[in-house]
Amino acid sequence: MKLIMVDDSEEKNPRRVGLGHLVGVGAVVFPEEGVVFYRDEIRRIRTRYGVPTETELKWSPDGDSWLKSPAGSAVRTQLRREMLQLAHYVGAVSVVIVWNRGDCEWSVEDTRKEVLKYLYDKVSLCVRDLPGSSIGLVIADEPGGGAKDHKAWLAGTLRLTEAGTVWTKPEQIALPIVMAPSHHVSHLQLADLVAASTVAAVAGNPYALELLPDLSMIAHRNNAGSVGGSGLTIWPKESDNLYHYLYGDTVRMQNGRGFLLPEPSWRYSVDDGLK
């Protein structure tokens, strides 16, 4: 069985021209045999860098986090890189969905429900395509709020795991989604890093863009070697040229047709929208 760690993120004011409020959700798919090794190696990495036990290794740490201290700031980028490199070493892969509300301004609540459906579809395909077991268990970071909010969120996901979606039957993700607090689970902290830094990279955050070589190593790819539509899906499709600038994709499939990237008729045909 594969373990799928899920967390969400957003960027309200992207630096990249042409984007509005970005709402995203990401998953890291771990092969069963890599789960314990990742946990143990992260503990060793934390010890080597002197990371306090209570510190979460997340993309946007709290203001009083050790990661924002002089000692933490000095090693923060390297810590993130080593987390991603370790994930690659154990065979983990990532899937991220980013919804640009600037092109389709649904309510934030409706958008979050929709990106979760997209993630369910893409993760199901990922689990099916990867070697080993074709069954996965999804563990999500606890959302904000109290127990009542958590129960409501879980109830809202039951339809996915019971009925699937229009495109995907409930075969790969056959059990209800469960929750865990990320401060107890290093794998969920990785999911936070992947989801948040990928959304931030789409938005044009320079610190996230620095991590792209490492994010690229674990991003799920299709048979053509492209990340677009597999490891990263940006919706609506007007921004598909970004797959070229972010991951070096040279081809994008749409409705059964292949387009060379950058496609002249799409947004970002001339540049990546960053000044």
Q: Tell me, what's the pLDDT at 151?
A: 81
User: Pseudo-torsion of CA 231, 232, 238, 239, nearest 10°?
Assistant: -120
Predicted local distance difference test score (pLDDT) of residue 174 = 78
Task: Give the predicted TM-score (pTM) of the model.
Answer: 0.96
Residue type, 201: A
Q: Read off φ and ψ for residue 136, nearest 5 degrees.
A: -130, 150
Full DSSP string of 2-46:
EEEEEEEEEESS-SSTT---EEEEEEEEE-GGGHHHHHHHHHHHH
Tell me the backbone φ, ψ of residue 97, rounded to 5 degrees.
-115, 130
What is residue 232's predicted lDDT score, i.e. its pLDDT? Answer: 99
Tell me the two tokens of residue 142: 């606890």
At a CB cut-off of 8 Å and minimum separation 6, what does 266 contact?
Answer: 238, 239, 240, 241, 259
The pLDDT, as a whole number, for residue 55 is: 97
Phi first, then psi, for residue 189 (nearest 5°) are: -65, -35
pLDDT, position 155: 82
Which residue has tokens 């129960």?
151
pLDDT of the chain, 275 residues: tens digit per residue: 999 999 999 999 999 999 999 999 999 999 999 999 999 999 999 999 999 999 999 999 999 999 999 999 999 999 999 999 999 999 999 999 999 999 987 899 899 999 999 999 999 999 999 998 899 999 999 887 677 777 877 888 888 889 999 999 999 997 899 999 999 899 999 999 999 999 999 999 999 999 999 999 999 999 889 999 999 999 999 999 999 999 999 999 877 788 999 999 999 999 999 97
| Pick from 200, 59, 215, 223: nearest CA to 129 | 223
Identify the three-state secondary structure at position 147: helix
- Per the CB < 8 A criterion, the answer to whether 143 and 157 are in contact is no
CA distances to 119, 196, 208 from 7, rounded to whole Å, are: 11, 8, 17
The domain limits of the chain are: 2-260
Q: Could you tell me which CATH number the domain at 2-260 has? A: 3.30.420.10
Cα(231)–Cα(257) distance, rounded to whole angstroms? 19
Q: Could you tell me which of 133, 104, 96, 79 has the C-alpha nearest to residue 246? A: 96
**Cβ proximity of 197 and 208 under 8 Å:** yes
In this predicted structure, what is the pLDDT of residue 39?
A: 98
* pLDDT value for 69: 97
Q: What is the pLDDT, as a whole number, of residue 201?
A: 99
The pLDDT value given to residue 37: 98
Q: What is the pLDDT of residue 156?
A: 80
Query: What pLDDT was estimated at residue 254?
Result: 77
